[in-house]
Amino acid sequence: MNRTFSPLILAALLIFLIGPFLIIVAASLSAGDTLTFPPQGLSLRWIAKVFTVESFRDSFIMSMILAVGGTFLALLLGVPAAYALSRYKLPFGEVVNTIVTLPIIVPGIIVGLALLRYVVVPFSFSIGIALFLAHTALVLPYTVRVVSSSFNNLRSDMEEAAVLLGATRLGAFFKVVLPNIQSGILAAFILGFVTSFNQVPVSLFLSGPGVRTLPIDMLSYMETTYDPSVAALSALLALMSIGIVFLAERFLGFSRYV
């Protein structure tokens, strides 16, 4: 690569990646009444306003419940699945692996439509349950992937050593395996949390009256009100995500797992 050329490409790439975020942050600090860039004057009033909108508070709580609860359930399902896939030669192991990965590849809008049409409507799930299950399904691939790589890095003879010292298979898992994949599980949790929290298309199909996730609520807020508070909320959410990933990288070496 040409020496003068590559910094230019790097700069362009960074502007492309970070630019939109900077524009949103700038727009959220506007003193004006509409969402514009460049901002008209500077103020923090739109950031303050975010915390006073009741529907934002409700949908934020909903999103938190989905992200934490859904990821937790996905881990409960994903950790044993990842264990089985990495430890045993299963007859359809590759197929299972592919199926588990599908929600990453298939567009969310299709997953959402399919879940609505063929799961939620026929079984008449409540909106809350439907959203919860959908988020679990979306996060599951990430947990299986990330935790699998932890299992693959852990030699299986450690479990055998524990068994020969008198442990049961289950005991060996909890006493020897689990303590050594803790950071992988935490990494999977963070990745799942962020994925679930930022998820739009699936939630769009499954949200209903009174039950909305935060991104959906922001969309519908913008349909009626075009003020900078949405930009302010976006900036806050982005900062939250950055903060989480920063802490994860700092303490876990997050990028090793993703």
- Minimum distance between the CB of residue 174 and other proteins, rounded to whole angstroms? 12
End-to-end CA distance of the chain: 27
Task: Assess contact for 67 and 132: CB atoms under 8 A.
Answer: no
Our CB check for other proteins shows the closer of 15 and 90 to be: 90
- Minimum distance between the CB of residue 171 and other proteins, rounded to whole angstroms? 7
Residues of the shown chain interacting with other proteins in the complex, contacts defined by CB under 8 A: 155, 157-158, 160-168, 171, 175-176, 179-180
Our CB check for other proteins shows the closer of 22 and 165 to be: 165
Give the C-alpha separation, 247 to 244, whole Å: 5
- Minimum distance between the CB of residue 85 and other proteins, rounded to whole angstroms? 21
Our CB check for other proteins shows the closer of 107 and 171 to be: 171
Give the C-alpha separation, 239 to 21, whole Å: 10
Our CB check for other proteins shows the closer of 16 and 92 to be: 92
Contacts of 88 (CB under 8 A, 6+ apart): none
- Minimum distance between the CB of residue 140 and other proteins, rounded to whole angstroms? 27
- Minimum distance between the CB of residue 87 and other proteins, rounded to whole angstroms? 14
Please count the CA atoms within 13 angstroms of the CA of 86 that sit on its side-chain side: 20
Our CB check for other proteins shows the closer of 75 and 176 to be: 176
| Structure letter (DSSP) for residue 211 | B
Contacts of 180 (CB under 8 A, 6+ apart): 150, 154, 158
